[in-house]
Structure 1
């Protein structure tokens, strides 16, 4: 693993645990700072006017806090164990090849972001996965807090799938945290209800996912919803021909057809939504 210079497993394990704690603290600080900044910008310069912020945001933040308390510690530990096991047994791509550190981290970012694109697309195409992912899409007023609105079931399934990717690629924990440190502010950004100048959005989306791209993804119209799957980089949608632009963003109705706002307008209703008999994910 070119990213790691130490070949002794004990040294690697000790160093990884220490660096994991330090990098995780940095990641959390950057995420919280970005959340505050984008909420402030939304308040001062909103694109969609007249939205109810407090109750809406508290519901979404509640889901985020639940996932952070219940699942984040479990998968942090599981990821560390899988990464260590892969390193010890030389499993995975990056445990078998040697690359310069900068090249390796760049390739890791690209491959992991490609996986995020593929996983997101699977969540739209596989009815069982969509049953949980629809909680995210059922938000009728997408903003920065919507980046936290993921059902605990989806986070669990995503975490399990990610462990397989960590094993197959032979990823170091530091690499994953560095990717997430970049991912989280960008996800907050492209969910944000900010009045970003159209020209600025067009320039940024050459490389990164932007609000005007992601708002299309949150459309109620299926042909629009099933586009723009990118997490960090927008070029995956160009490569796989799933990119969609829309001129008049005010025309976009956000949410999921067949789900009324009252069915997901509380914390507990969002948790129950995937198990509701009133919505068939196969009919989306």
Structure 2
């Protein structure tokens, strides 16, 4: 498969993806199911889009589509070596990758990764754009490990093309503020994440529950599931976000710029007594201070 084919499929998928995201944003406006965190929601939405753009840029070298195409062309990975049928590869990859997302998500609530993942949880009003709200370090690490998984298993190019699209839409829908019929959503939540199911994970009391990002099977299997609230009035009493004094409305705080500069400054004081790295970082990221 040549580069023109790769570009065509990537652009087509991106067009469909952002078209559906736009549709979800419109549906949120007319059919929302909660009013949580309305104060400052517009500014947070803009910051979320900014983070999304930053993550797209930093993740450009970590293309899963290119990796899958390369592995398929050179017959790298278990599925390629065994010539596993496409349909079976799709099912196996979808399940394995979804389990990987679940496990990585649980790990991101552990000590070190939580410093980055709490950026995602700092949004006080869950909506479609919250799905963009990830720190670049977490985003890079997630995609780097995913590429390792692709190299080991060798899922076909079109498997990655389609499965990534489906799972990304599930993630964005799960974070959305789109109301569904309660009985229908209750039935769906036994299989896949839904807005009411996932909003529980973003509460301060239940943030270590409902980790699933696609199939809810993993929460049931590993006993991390908590029952969603189906009544809108009960949902609007929930408290989202993280308990911290940091002003997460500032874009620079979402990138942890101040903490990084402070940390590097301490290192320089100890080892070199001259804050050269601190100054360098401040210059490179200085433009962020204007947000």
For the criterion TM > 0.5, the same-fold answer is yes
**Cα deviation, residue 199, structure 1:** 1.0
Cα distance between partner residues in 2 of 1:191 and 1:234: 14
> Is 1:101 the equivalent of 2:79?
no
**Cα deviation, residue 246, structure 1:** 3.4
Cα distance between partner residues in 2 of 1:42 and 1:81: 35
2:24 is matched with 38
Alignment counterpart, residue 102 of structure 2, candidates 113, 117, 120: 117
Cα distance between partner residues in 2 of 1:189 and 1:85: 31
1:241 is matched with 223
1:154 is matched with 138
Mark the CA change 1:81 to 1:192 in structure 2 (over 3 Å): closer, same or farther: closer
Alignment counterpart, residue 54 of structure 1, candidates 37, 42, 51: 42
Cα distance between partner residues in 1 of 2:94 and 2:149: 13
1:75 is matched with 62
**Cα deviation, residue 192, structure 1:** 0.8
CA contact (8 A) 1:42 1:193 kept: yes
CA contact (8 A) 2:86 2:156 kept: no
2:248 is matched with 264
CA contact (8 A) 2:89 2:159 kept: no
CA contact (8 A) 2:89 2:155 kept: no
2:276 is matched with none
Task: Kindly indicate whether structure 1 or structure 2 has the higher relative contact order, using CA contacts under 8 Å at least 6 residues apart.
Answer: 1
Cα distance between partner residues in 2 of 1:232 and 1:26: 23
1:208 is matched with 192
**Within-5 A mapping of 1:127-206:** 127-206=111-190
The count of aligned residue pairs is 256
SS in 1 for 2:97: helix
SS in 2 for 1:263: coil
Alignment counterpart, residue 225 of structure 1, candidates 180, 203, 207: 207
Bigger CA radius of gyration: 2
TM-score by length of 1: 0.82
**Cα deviation, residue 56, structure 1:** 2.0
Mark the CA change 1:47 to 1:119 in structure 2 (over 3 Å): closer, same or farther: same
CA contact (8 A) 1:34 1:188 kept: no
1:5 is matched with none
Where does the alignment leave 5 or more consecutive residues of structure 1 unmatched?
A: 1-12, 279-284
2:271 is matched with none
Mark the CA change 1:274 to 1:213 in structure 2 (over 3 Å): closer, same or farther: farther
Cα distance between partner residues in 1 of 2:119 and 2:62: 21
CA contact (8 A) 2:48 2:130 kept: yes
CA contact (8 A) 2:55 2:139 kept: yes
Where does the alignment leave 5 or more consecutive residues of structure 2 unmatched?
A: 264-291
Deviations 1:128-180 (A, max 9, x none): 21111110011111111101101111111111111211122122333222222
1:66 is matched with 54
